[in-house]
Amino acid sequence: MLDIKLIRNQPEQVKAALERRGEYDLTALLALDAQQREIEKTRSDLQASSNEVGKSVGQKIREGADPKGDEVKALRDEGNRLKQEIGELEPKERELNAEIESILLTIPNLPSDSTPDGKSEDDNVEVRRWGDELIDTEADAKRLPHYEIGEKLGIMNFERSVKVAQSRFVTLMGAGAALERALISFMLARHTGVGYTEVLPPILVNSDSMQGSGQLPKFAEDGFKCDRDDLWLTPTAEVPLTNLHRDEVLGADQLPINYCAYTPCFRREAGSYGRDTRGLIRLHQFNKVEMYKFVHPDSSFDELEKLTADAEDILHQLKLPYRVLELCTGDLGFGAAKTYDLEVWLPSAGTYREISSCSNCVDFQGRRANIRFKAAGKKGTQYVHTLNGSGLAVGRTMAAILENYQQPDGTINIPDVLQPYMGSETIG
């Protein structure tokens, strides 16, 4: 959430920054803010007058005035009139504050100065590639898509998943289930090995948690909600991890806090109908290992580079070709100020597909979830900066392995780093 004081004091600068994303009209918000501040000043002035009247009543009585006399009665009548006016203003002020907050919750984060301008994903900027030498386009042309080889090997079943649930779910069988588990274990072991603290959070989260992380109100239609309990199936571990410290004041010496977590994730994929209807790329339920950081504002952009490198290292160790894109303003996520997307090579598509998104949200989530920190010996608090990134999306990683490690005889070689977790060298 943006700071209303920033919008109030620098409206043109905020408007210009938002226009890099698209069209955002701040007129109604600024008008409500001006109205709220006017009422707040009037109420404050009336409260000061009421306090003075109260003091005057006490002073007159101490000076010998009759507590039931006309002079004291007139002062008390004036005090009651002032209290009535204050009582009439307070609900109006609360209503305006609620309206202002509801608008603020729908305004996206401001892009960082270093985020490239652009209107859509076509304007994203490629930063680097890795593993070009691993791509064999001649061999790729003969490889089956991951969902075809997966069904052929009997390690994934989509048809029976429709019977159990509906479309866009998968049941992993035998070596498929083992490979998914191996990937999760490998990713968590890698991240905890470099200092992340592993977390196993609830996968049902309340509406406050969804709002604090930026999922509500904007992405309500993409979530699965349990209305009876005001709980949502988490769309990403970013949601519970953000809210572990909601409404807390951390010590500056606690930062940075680095968490990693495996969770199932649930999304309706609203607006994606007709896209990636087959396979593991766009499911309603999928597994993901998430990395999350609470950091000092001075270091957040350096931490973004570290976070991205941590995601890349998984692909290095799996020897999967990939590229890194810097997202333009038109493709930037709602809560992000700057984002790098990692895209892995999928031979069946002959292109790169997203497998991780690493973002610096600066103080956007910290402000929404009221997460602050305080330096020892200093007055006041600051909002933490938060970062998140997939490390990695497990199903998409499996898809990349099934295609890039597919052999001419239809078997799948298991990447070296996964063999200890699998207990075998091949599938099929």
CB of 210 closer than 8 Å to CB of 201: no
Q: Is 94 a catalytic residue?
A: no
Give me the catalytic one of 143, 267, 367, 368. 267
∠ CA 118-121-123 to the nearest 5 degrees?
A: 40
Q: Is 396 a catalytic residue?
A: yes
Q: Is 20 a catalytic residue?
A: no
The alpha carbon dihedral of 320, 329, 106, 270 has a sign of negative
Which helix (H) or strand (E) segment is 14 a member of?
helix 11-19
* Strand 426-427 with 231-233, pairing: unpaired
What are the CA-CA distances from residue 136 to residues 71, 155, 259, 343, 345 (Å)? 97, 25, 37, 17, 11
One-letter amino acid identity for 395? G
Give me the catalytic one of 246, 282, 323, 353. 282
Give me the catalytic one of 93, 161, 396, 403. 396
DSSP 365-382: HHHHTT-EEE-TT-SS-E
What are the CA-CA distances from residue 420 to residues 178, 374, 397, 414, 428 (Å)? 12, 44, 18, 10, 17
Give me the catalytic one of 300, 348, 356, 357. 357
CB of 279 closer than 8 Å to CB of 306: no
Residue 67: exposed, middle, or buried by beta-carbon count in 10 A (0-12, 13-18, 19+)? exposed
CB of 156 closer than 8 Å to CB of 150: yes
Task: Please tell me the distance from the alpha carbon of residue 297 to that of residue 257, in angstroms, as a whole number.
Answer: 13
Task: Please tell me the distance from the alpha carbon of residue 355 to that of residue 351, in angstroms, as a whole number.
Answer: 13
The SS3 of residue 162 is: helix
Cβ within 8 Å of residue 19, ≥6 positions away: none
Q: Is 357 a catalytic residue?
A: yes
Helix, strand, coil % over all residues of the chain, rounded to 5 = 45, 20, 35
* Residues that are catalytic: 267, 282, 354, 357, 396
